[in-house]
Amino acid sequence: MRRFAGKTVVVTGSGRDKGLGQAILQRFADEGAHCVVSDLGQPAEHMDAGDIGTTAAMSAVADELRARGAKVAVVPCDVRSGESCDALAQAAVDAFGSLDIWVNNAGIGYIMKPLLETSASEWEAVIGVNLTGAFHGTKAAARTMIAAGRGGRIINIASQAAKSGFPHMAPYTASKHGMVGLTRSNAIELGAHGITVNAVCPNHVTTGLGAKQNDYFSKLLGFDSVEAYLDNMKRKNPMGRPGLGSDTAAACAWLASDDAFYVTGEALNVSGGEEMH
């Protein structure tokens, strides 16, 4: 299917190989969308080169999408800045003539510490990217979509941590719970403009970030190895496995499609039955 032929999708935090953002863009590329790859580009405090999409990494993701037949633009963006998000939205329009789908995917999930050892700057970094970034991104996308008068789709990548608490991840869990509240409020305000706003709540996905979580939590929970930790994860999931990037990407594609035109304000679990509320 080419449901998104002629449409433009922006995915923040999409500049890492094997990252969730890349998987989302791959799905949209395969369905005909013009793709905007965006990530921080340069390291910043609490965001080392291995934790972000560098300029080189973004280019590699773009090349892979072009090999799938998509038209692609690469635009660095610091989602903590409203001006940077506004520039990203404008760049999408300049490149392809429209902005139809915006996915707030940029996030920090690699800061894992006991609450009493978590610094204020670490808290602020996670909230700044995960939640404030979704705030700025939504505003930039909504302004552009309203000006065009054709409606649009805004999708927030939340988490199972938007529904349940997790130890040693207070900033992350708080940010993802907040993202669901942001989703619901924005859905109410933007519905009159034909813009839907939804969240996707995946369970654990072993991306590059997910691999760091596997290593940390296997030790925290006393497993002999990462493999033993993953085996336990499989056993407790009704579908018998953790999530894949393609699972989240499929949910995003559905929410962006005409089939979901009357769905807004939802926080959709994509967890193989692991999360049901």
Do 186 and 214 fall within a single domain? Answer: no
Do 257 and 122 fall within a single domain? Answer: yes
Q: Does the pLDDT value for residue 206 go beyond 90? A: no
Per-residue pLDDT, 26: 98
Do 183 and 256 fall within a single domain? Answer: yes
Do 74 and 131 fall within a single domain? Answer: yes
Per-residue pLDDT, 212: 86
pLDDT band for 37, please (50, 70, 90 cuts): very high
**Closest alpha carbon to 141 in 201, 77, 202, 200:** 77
| DSSP H/E element including 268 | strand 267-270
Cβ neighbour number for residue 250 with a 10 Å cutoff: 16
In-domain check, residue 131? yes
Structural domain for 177, as ranges? 8-205+244-267
Per-residue pLDDT, 210: 77
- Rounded Cα distance between 277 and 275, Å, is 6
- pTM equals 0.97
Per the structure, how many domains does the chain have?
A: 2
Do 58 and 96 fall within a single domain? Answer: yes
Per-residue pLDDT, 152: 98
Do 109 and 211 fall within a single domain? Answer: no
**Is residue 110 among the annotated active site residues?**
no
Q: Sheet with 72-74: list strands edge to edge.
A: 72-74, 34-37, 8-11, 101-104, 152-157, 195-202, 267-270
In-domain check, residue 277? no
In 61-217, the DSSP E strands lie at 72-74, 101-104, 152-157, 195-202
Do 215 and 173 fall within a single domain? Answer: no
In-domain check, residue 274? no
Do 145 and 214 fall within a single domain? Answer: no
Task: Please tell me which residue in 172, 216, 229, 262 is annotated as part of the active site.
Answer: 172
What mean pLDDT is predicted for residues 15-20? Answer: 94
In-domain check, residue 116? yes
CA atoms within 13 A on the CB side of 166: 25
Do 21 and 153 fall within a single domain? Answer: yes
In-domain check, residue 3? no
Do 167 and 77 fall within a single domain? Answer: yes
At 98-116, the pLDDT tens digits run 999 999 999 999 999 999 9
Q: What are phi and psi of 139, to 5 degrees?
A: -60, -45
